[in-house]
Structure 1
Amino acid sequence: MAIQLDHLMVPARDKLRSARMLAELLGVPWSETGIGPFAPVYLNDGLTLDFDEWGEPFPLIHFCFRVGVEDFDAILGRLQAADIPYRSAVHGPVDHQVDRSHGGAIVYWNEPDGHQWEMLTQSYARKA
């Protein structure tokens, strides 16, 4: 069997707020309860993000989601409608721009706990 990533734990101050926010932005299902103490966000049939409340300090993590062009546009629209600051560079200032220099489209934003989310239409890490 090929190795597949099944789930990741995401530390949060308020797991329900964080799980709900990400699920609504990405347009995917989530639940207030999961196995154990988690609030799961179901990204697809094979990957779940399990939000869990942790004490301070906790690590800030970068997550990248590859999506299709139509999904990118829809999610970007939800970011804009929610007035969430976004940027075109991983460590750049908020510029409300989309990076198109890698052949696709890329944006970055941070959620309230500081985790960095990236959304792209073409992987620059894997040329496939």
Structure 2
Amino acid sequence: MAVQFNHTIVSSTDKEASARFLAGILGTGEPSSYGPFAVVQLANGTSLDFADGRGRLHTQHYAFLVSEEEFDQIHARIVEQGLTYWADPFHQHEGEINTNDGGRGLYWDDPDGHNLEILTVPYGGWPSS
């Protein structure tokens, strides 16, 4: 078997709330539980497993490749919830969507300050066939 990414653990101040927040924005359905984790399952078999952190949280960046239709739906949920979003990872272009690599992308923060991203084309564009 070739090496594949399976899951990552996301530290949070409230694992259930953070997992519900992400699942709600992405439209993935309710998180499940596995041991001490609140799990957001993604379509490609990977998951984000939220855990209650101990001590100071170190924020991370999580990016999600989505279709054009999913982008529109996620963007609408971000706007409906009154969340601030940016066109760039450094939060310089508020309320804008980028068009990098011929697609669309945006960034927003989760309740713990993790920098979340959706994009419709991977960095560098789609591989040529």
Structure 2: any 5+ residue segments left out of the alignment? none
Deviation at 1:44, TM superposition (A): 1.6
**Structure 1 position 96 matched with structure 2 position 95:** yes
What is the CA–CA distance in structure 2 between the aligned matches of 1:57 and 1:2, rounded to whole Å? 35
What is the CA–CA distance in structure 2 between the aligned matches of 1:123 and 1:52, rounded to whole Å? 28
* Counterpart for residue 112 of structure 2: 113
Question: What is the correspondence of 1:1-128 to structure 2 with a 5 Å cutoff?
Answer: 1-31=1-31, 33-34=33-34, 36-93=35-92, 95-125=94-124, 127-128=126-127
| Matched residue type, 2:49 | D
Structure 1 residue ranges (4+ consecutive) displaced by more than 6 angstroms after TM superposition? none
Structure 1: any 5+ residue segments left out of the alignment? none
Q: Which moved more, 1:63-72 or 1:87-96?
A: 87-96
What is the CA–CA distance in structure 2 between the aligned matches of 1:98 and 1:17, rounded to whole Å? 26
Q: Is the 8 A contact 2:10 2:48 kept in 1?
A: yes
Q: How many residues align?
A: 127
Q: Give the TM-score, by structure 2 length.
A: 0.91
2:72 partner SS = helix
Q: Give the TM-score, by structure 1 length.
A: 0.92
What is the CA–CA distance in structure 2 between the aligned matches of 1:2 and 1:40, rounded to whole Å? 24
What is the CA–CA distance in structure 1 between the aligned matches of 2:88 and 2:77, rounded to whole Å? 19
Deviation at 1:33, TM superposition (A): 2.1
Deviation at 1:32, TM superposition (A): 5.1
Structure 1 vs Structure 2: percent identity of aligned residues? 35
What is the CA–CA distance in structure 2 between the aligned matches of 1:24 and 1:120, rounded to whole Å? 17
